[in-house]
Amino acid sequence: MNASTSPRFTRRAWLASSSLMASAVFALTACGGGGGTGTATGPQAAASAYAVGPITGFGSIIVNGVHYDDDLARVSDDDGVSHDRSALKLGMVVEVRGQGADDRVAAQSIVTHSLLRGPVQAVGADSLLVLGQTVQVPSTTFFDDRLAGGLTAVQAGDIVKVYGVLDAATGVYTATRIERHDSGDDPFRLRGVVAAYDAVAATLTIGGAVIDVTGQSLPTGLQAGDLVRVKLQRTQVGGLWVATQVRSGEIRPDDGNHDHAEFEGSITAFTSSSDFSVEGLPVDASQARFEDGTAGLAAGVRVEVEGAIVNGVLVATKVEIKDGRRGGRNDGQDDVGDIELNGRIDSVDVVAQTLIVRGVTVNFAGDVQYERGTAADLVVQRKVEVHGVLATDGVTVNAQRIKFDD
């Protein structure tokens, strides 16, 4: 159940203290994009950081424009399974906890959060149907190497894993990354908004999926409008998907306050421009700066909120709309256009005019701006900073600028 409507969460309590919390956050947080933070009792380097959003670059990982050093981070998925940091890929939605300030933070833990894992039922011109859910696939969606070609490489019957953002108002998913998932007997997964719950029949409905929850421990007070995450058996029974686990689908920190937070996601409950929730996390925006105004804010809108987390509430200093369909400034396109890669060149193919940095293939053909060198300097182990955009194959990055870092 989302925090804004749940009787278990007293919004009046945190709104009544919002002035106090806002004063605290402005003492803790420096305004500005990717901004640094400090505390009243310690130096900036001791500040705690929290972020949720898609990975848009490497050399550390880059989330919401902030660099998080992942060298010593614990990496896991949302089932708690540990992974090597090499498992982190462009477009994955991650939850990061760390220490630091300004544009450089040392990540302590990184958790990947997928939306769907299951069979593709249909492929459209710019969308998929997976587990009864409509998944929009914009031109900015990343694909894994086995799906080079993007949406054209996906076929009905494929098992895929989808990362992205869910519009809580419409139930439509927007993919930031799609992977082919061929791993044995792993259960299917679905994170979505409950459209209906029938306690007598022991079924809940999410989009076009009707799920048998017989015998499952359900979140307290489960009702329509709640955000849940469900594990499913791989085979339907009598036209129903069968749940093996049902739990809350909210993403929120459970480890106390954070001096600086950057959270990108969908508004899951909306009362006013100063009182809403993002992915179930309550937001107090009463003293926030609105980059795009407040007219476009509503349930389901994709936003990036910056501020500090105080007593479980994100006290915002800045709110930016990321969803052009609802009044954003990108005309329906996600603004994850610029991809940044920092690292040493692993390999170079001079014939194909491609190189690999942190596992990402970069095409350097065409009009590329070079700094501190030329194309002839693109050799193995040379350290570079690449800026580019996603190619139409959904896998390759077309370089626009390459800077040699000595």
My answer on whether 101 and 19 are in the same domain is yes
The Cα 89–Cα 142 span in angstroms is 9
154 & 212 share domain: no
Q: Are residues 217 and 200 in the same domain?
A: yes
By CB atoms closer than 10 A (0-12, 13-18, 19+), residue 154 is: buried
What pLDDT score does 185 carry?
82
What is the identity of the amino acid at 76?
S
Whether 331 is in a domain gets the answer no
Angle at 95 between CA 9 and CA 23, to 5 degrees: 55
Residue 102's pLDDT is 67
CATH code, domain with 170:
2.40.50.320
DSSP class of residue 237 equals: B
pTM: predicted TM-score of the whole model, two decimal places: 0.85
pLDDT in tens, the chain (406 residues): 343 333 333 333 433 444 444 444 444 443 334 443 333 343 344 589 999 999 999 988 999 889 999 999 999 998 899 999 999 999 999 999 999 876 779 999 999 999 999 999 999 999 999 999 999 999 999 999 999 999 999 999 999 999 999 998 899 999 999 999 877 788 999 999 999 999 999 999 999 999 999 999 999 999 999 999 999 999 999 999 999 999 999 998 877 799 999 999 999 999 999 999 999 999 999 999 998 899 999 999 999 999 999 999 999 999 999 864 323 333 333 444 589 999 999 999 999 999 999 999 999 998 999 999 999 999 999 999 999 999 999 999 999 999 998 7
CB 117 within 8 A of CB 186: yes
Do 143 and 108 have their domain in common? no
- Is residue 15 domain-shared with residue 109, that is, in the same domain? yes
Write down the pLDDT at residue 337: 59
Closest residue by Cα to residue 180 from 204, 198, 200, 160: 160
Same domain, yes or no: 133 and 204: no
Of 233, 248, 263, at which residue does a domain stop? 248
130 and 107 within one domain: no
CA dist 314 and 281 (Å) reads: 7
pLDDT at 8: 36
Residues 107 and 16 occupy one common structural domain: yes
Number of domains composing the chain: 4
334 domain residue, yes or no: no
List CB contacts of 195: < 8 A, sequence separation 6 or more.
171, 205, 206, 207, 224
| Size (the chain), residues | 406
Distance between CA 352 and CA 248 in Å, rounded?
Answer: 47
| Residue at a domain's end among 159, 180, 201 | 180
Q: What is the pLDDT of residue 79?
A: 87
Structural domain range at position 371? 339-404
Domain boundary among 203, 222, 248: 248
Question: Are 95 and 143 in the same domain?
Answer: no
